[in-house]
Amino acid sequence: MAFISIGMNNSRKSIILGVTGSIAAYKAVDLLRLLTSAGHDVRVLQTEASLRFVGELTFQALSGHPVVIDQFDPRSESVFSHIDLASADIMLVAPATAGTIGKMAAGLADNLLLSSYLATKAKVMICPAMNQQMWNHPAVRENIDTLKRRGALIIEPGSGELACGDEGVGRMAEPREIFERVRQHLADVPTSKADVHGDINRSGSLAGVRVLVTAGGTREPIDSVRYITNRSSGRMGMELAEAALDRGARVTIVAANCSTTRIPGITQIDVETAEELETAVESEYESCDVLLMAAAVSDYKVSDIMTMGKIEREESVSNLKLVPTSDIVANLKNNGNGRVRIGFAAEHGEENRERARRKLLDKGLDMIVFNDISRADIGFESSDNEITIMAPGRDDIFVEKTTKRECAERIMDQVETLIA
C-alpha cells in the first residue's frame, strides 16, 4: 500500500448550513457531522425560531465555529457577516420551512439567513420540511418552482409519518441522502452517476483508502428451510462502513443477512453462509487497504445438509453433526504490503477479555475490538455498544457505553493512526 497522508486535501470546501425553525432541525445535527467528517469547513447559520428545537452550542461544538444568528451579533466576525458568509461554495438550507421558502422566493431579507441567500454566488440547495398539506399547497409549489427556475437545487422531502402525526410527503430528506447530493455536486457529476463504485474523487482524512468491511451474521443451512444463525443485525458493520465513507474512503461491505438498509455510495456484496462470506472476502481482499471483520461468522456448520426438501417432524433426528467453518481472517495472508487487518471478538463476560487478546496475537491482527455479549443493553440487537480496542504494543482504549456510530468513529480514529 502506498503511503497515505492523513489530513485534509485540496477538496476541502466551504459550506453554509442554514437551519430554520422545524422539528427536523435535529436532522441537521447529523448532516453537520457528515459534512465535517468528510473534511469540509461548515459554518452554521440559525434562525431565531430554530433555537427552539436545537440550541446553538450543539452546532458550535460539531462545526468548530460560533453559530451566527443575528447580522449584528457582536460575536460575529463582521457586521457584514451576510456578505462574508456568502463566499461559500455551497449554501445548504436544511431544514427549510414553508415560511423560509416563501421569503426566499419573494426576495425578502428580514434575517441573516435570507440576507446571505440574496448575497451568495454559491450553489443553493434547499431541503424542505413541513406538513404534507403545506407541501402540496399551490403557493408552496409555486415558490418551489420559482426557486428552481433561479437555479436552486431542491432535495425533495420524503414520505412517512410526520411530526404532527399525519402520513404523507413532507419529511425532510435523510441526512445521508442530502450528504450524497452535496458530494455529487462538489464532484461535478450528475446525480445518475452516484459513486456507488467509488468513481468520485473524495475528500476527507481517508481519501484514497480502500476499506473492506464484513457485517451481519452468517446462516448455515440444516435443510432447505432451516438454518443455524446468530443474533447479529449487521448494524455495527454498517456503522463502520458509513464512518469510513464519511472520511472519504472507498468502501465495500460484505453483508451477511443484514437487516439494515443499503448505504448510498457503498458497494454491497450480499452473502448468506460462512463459505460465501469467505469467498467474497478473498475476492476483495487483494484490492483493499483496510479490512474490518465485524461480521459474526458461525464457528460451525452442518456436515450433511438436506439440500432438497425439509426434515419432517415425524422423522427421527437424534443429532446434527457439526463441523468447524474456516477461520477467515486467520487464513488471509498479509503479504507484507502494509494492509491493516482488524478483528472483532464478541465474548461472553468480562472474564473472557484475555481470549480477545490471544486472538489478536494468534491471528496476527493489527487491532481487535472486544465487546461483552453477556449484557442485554449492548451488542447484539442493540443500538449501543461498549468496546475495548486492543493493538500490539499499545495501551487498551476503552469506550464506555455509547451509540454504535460513536464506537465506529473511535475505531476509525485508531485505523487512521495505524495507517499513518
- The answer to whether residues 189 and 200 touch, using CB atoms and an 8 Å cutoff, is yes
Domains 14-193 and 210-309+320-419 share a fold: yes
CA 96/CA 115 separation, integer angstroms = 15
**Beta pairing, strands 384-390 & 397-403:** antiparallel
Between residues 224 and 334, which one has the greater pLDDT? 224
User: Which of 284-288, 304-308, 345-349 shows the lowest per-residue confidence on average (mean pLDDT)?
Assistant: 304-308
* Domain spanning 14-193, CATH architecture: 3-Layer(aba) Sandwich (3.40)
pLDDT over threshold 80, residue 1: no
What dihedral do alpha carbons 77, 80, 83, 87 form, nearest 10°? -10
What dihedral do alpha carbons 82, 85, 86, 88 form, nearest 10°? -170
Q: Is the peptide bond before 95 cis (omega within 30 degrees of 0)?
A: yes
Confidence of residue 271 (pLDDT cuts 50, 70, 90): very high
Angle made by CA atoms 248, 249, 254, in degrees to the nearest 5: 140
Each residue's pLDDT tens digit, 319-349: 778 899 999 988 886 655 678 999 999 887 7
Domain ranges of the chain: 14-193, 210-309+320-419
What residues are annotated to the active site? 164
Say how many residues make up the chain: 420
Identify the pLDDT of residue 410. 94
Per CATH, the number for 210-309+320-419 is 3.40.50.10300
pTM above 0.75, yes or no: no
- The answer to whether residues 117 and 124 touch, using CB atoms and an 8 Å cutoff, is yes
Each residue's pLDDT tens digit, 156-213: 888 776 666 677 788 898 898 899 888 878 865 443 334 443 444 456 789 889 999 9
